[in-house]
Amino acid sequence: MTPLRQALTDYLAMRRALGYQLARAEKLLGQFLAFLEHRGETHLRTDSAFAWATQATGTSPRAWAAMRLGVVRGFAQHLSTIDPATEIPPTDLLPRRARRATPYLYTSDELIALMTAATMLRTSHRVATYQTLIGLLAVTGMRGGEAIALDRHDFDVEAGLLIVRHGKFGKARELPLHPSAVAAVNQYLHRQDRPHAAARTSALLVSTAGTRLLLCNVQRTFRTLVRRAGLQPHSTACRPRPHDLRHRFAVCTFLDTYREGKDPGAALSLLSTYLGHVDPTYTYWYLSAAPELLQLAADRLQQRFGGAL
């Protein structure tokens, strides 16, 4: 193993010990080191990092190149502590303006349209897999990666809950399910068309090959379902994504809180825990883009303070 490869192994191990998963970083940095090795280089230099990063292609090449360079910069900062010849790419070399996507808040009809579109997938088991996945994302607010990481033993049919063991930053949590969701997951696990090869994996949700789902394939299939369901982007920054089902869950939960006259503060704390956030402030983002929710909050304030507003 070369010194650069060993340094990468140590870097990833250190970051993962802090709770980071780094699947994309590991892949990109592996490609970057292969690029350096092809050029016969043994030290990390800014011009080489720039040359590799700007090989990127896609609909937004500059943003993609900036992301790649940012991944290298993090590794370079670590590497510079053990190799003085390391050059750390400056932050203004490919500035990347952070821009969060605007949440696409699915209506109930759009959610039904997505589930219906799934019936056009190739096999009956694949139909069931994506209907179960979409349903779970909608009723639990799980991240997509958390859902496909679920194992069969993470589903407790008697207690009626799911255990997320591989949450962000290594956080685990229990998610109580509605009886209808418990029945749906249990039915999926006992389907007669479940691939025989699935017995070799512990995964709850499996592909037609009987293997754990891959996030890239899930995202590709989801785009197909969105197109078949006739869902249209609201803007260039607001497009239907699997992650927006998490936003929908958060907003619907809070809408119920206001409609039932419950304490929003207490509900926010519970919702934050359910979503797996390390701090409730992160949960506010999921609630800030829903006009109906903001109107209910304003109505609550009007009722409390009346003409003082």
Q: In this predicted model, what pLDDT tens digit does every residue of 110-160 receive, in sequence order? A: 999 999 999 999 999 999 999 999 999 999 999 999 999 999 999 999 999
Res 304: pLDDT: 54
The topology (CATH level 3) of 101-309 is: hpI Integrase; Chain A (1.10.443)
- The pLDDT tens digits for 215-251 are 989 999 999 999 999 999 988 888 999 999 998 998 8
3-state SS assignment for residue 2: coil
Q: Where are the domains of the chain?
A: 3-79, 101-309
pLDDT band at residue 308 under the 50/70/90 scheme? very low
- From the number of C-beta atoms within 10 Å of its C-beta (0-12, 13-18, 19+), residue 307 rates as exposed
Please identify every residue annotated as catalytic: 143, 168, 243, 246, 277, 286
Q: What percent of the chain has pLDDT over 70?
A: 86
pTM above 0.85, yes or no: no
Average pLDDT, the chain: 87
111/107 Cα distance (integer angstroms): 6
Tokens, residue 101: 């996507």
pLDDT score of 297 more than 60 = no
The whole-number pLDDT of residue 296 equals: 55
Give the neighbor-by-neighbor strand order of the sheet with 161-164.
Answer: 155-156, 161-164, 173-176
Please say whether the beta carbons of 279 and 265 come within 8 A.
no
